[in-house]
Structure 1
Amino acid sequence: MSRKIEERLAALGESLPDAPAPAANYVPFVRSGALLHVSGQISQDADGLIVGKLGRDLELADGVRAARRCALSLLAQVRAAADGDLDRLVRVVKLTAFVNSAPDFIDQPKVVNGASDLMVELLGDAGRHARSAVGAGALPLGVAVEIEGIFELS
C-alpha cells in the first residue's frame, strides 16, 4: 500500500489527526459511487477548538491556520472512508467553507485559502477544486472555520 500523500504531509511538517467523531445525529461521510461527501469539519488542533470571530477576535493568519486544520480533518475522514489508504484519493472536487466573521470582515476567500493551498500542495492539480467561502455570524461551538468537502475516490 502506497503512502505518497502521507509522505508529502510529513514533508510539510503535518500529520493527520484521528478522524473526528460526529457531534450530533449525522455520519462523518457518505460515499455515493466514486464521490465521497464529508460532513463539515470544525477548526481544532491538539490544544482544542480554534474559536473566535475573524475581524474581531482573530487575525487573517489565525483564520488561515484554522482553515488548514479543517483541511487536515477532512483528509482524516477521507482516509477513514478509504479504509486507511489515503492514496485512493483521486481528486478534491469541492470545498464549502464557513468563516465565523465580524460584520465588516470581507476576506473569507483568503481565510479558506489555508485549506485550498494545502490540498494543492499535497495533490497538485488533483487538489484544485470548486469552492465556496461564506461568512457566517456564528458557527457551532464558536469555532472560527467549518469546511465540508466532496472528494473522488478510486
Structure 2
Amino acid sequence: MIEQRLEQLGIVLPRASAPAAKYANAVIVNGMMYVSGKGPNTAERGKLGDPFTTDQGYAFARNAGIEVLAVVQEVLGSLDRVERVVKIQGFVNATASYDEHHKVLNGCSDLMLDVFGERGVHARSVFGAASVRDDLPLIIDSIFQVKE
C-alpha cells in the first residue's frame, strides 16, 4: 500500500491546497488524471539562479510533488488507485543564465520513484520561465493513469 510506503519514507501529506483561481485541482477523463500546476508549500519566493541554488530548487520540486500527491489523495481517496505516473512537467522560475532546470525537477521525479516504484517512472519536460504566479520558484504540472 502506498500509504505505508509514505510512512516508511517519513512523508505526511498535507491537506490539498485550494486552486489559486477558477479551476479544479484535478480532472479525470478516461482513466487519466490531470493535476493542475502546484508549487511548493513554502514561504520562499524568487528565482533559481538568484537567490536560490539548484539544491534548494530540488527541495522545492520535492515539496511541490508532495503537494501534487496531496491533491491526488484527496481526489481519489487513496494513492493505491494510481496505476502509473504518466508525465511530470516543470516550469522553473529562473534567471536568464540559469541552466540546471533538469536537476531541479529531479526533486519531484525522485519522489515519484520513491513513492510508486516502477509505477513512478514517467515522461518529463522542464522549462525555464521568466516568471510564474506569485513568484513561486517553480510550478509542477502532472498526469496520472488511475483506476476508475
TM-score norm. by structure 2 comes to: 0.95
Partner in structure 2 of residue 64 of structure 1: 58
Retained in 2: the 8 A contact 1:6–1:86? yes
Map of 1:65-80 to 2, 5 A cutoff? 65-80=59-74
Structure 2: gaps of 5 or more residues: none
Map of 1:4-153 to 2, 5 A cutoff? 4-44=1-41, 48-82=42-76, 84-153=77-146
Report the Cα distance in structure 1 between the residues aligned to 2:67 and 2:122, rounded to whole angstroms: 17
Report percent identity of matched pairs.
39
CA RMSD of aligned residues (A): 1.0
Structure 1: gaps of 5 or more residues: none
Report the Cα distance in structure 2 between the residues aligned to 1:142 and 1:49, rounded to whole angstroms: 11
Structure 2 SS opposite 1:49: coil
Question: Where does structure 1 differ by over 4 angstroms across 4 or more consecutive aligned residues?
Answer: none
- String of CA shifts for 1:20-72, please: whole Å, max 9, x gaps: 1111111111100210000000111xxx4332211110011110000001111
Aligned-partner residue type, residue 29 of structure 2: S
TM-score norm. by structure 1 comes to: 0.92
- String of CA shifts for 1:97-142, please: whole Å, max 9, x gaps: 1011011100000000000001011111110101111001111111
Retained in 2: the 8 A contact 1:50–1:66? no
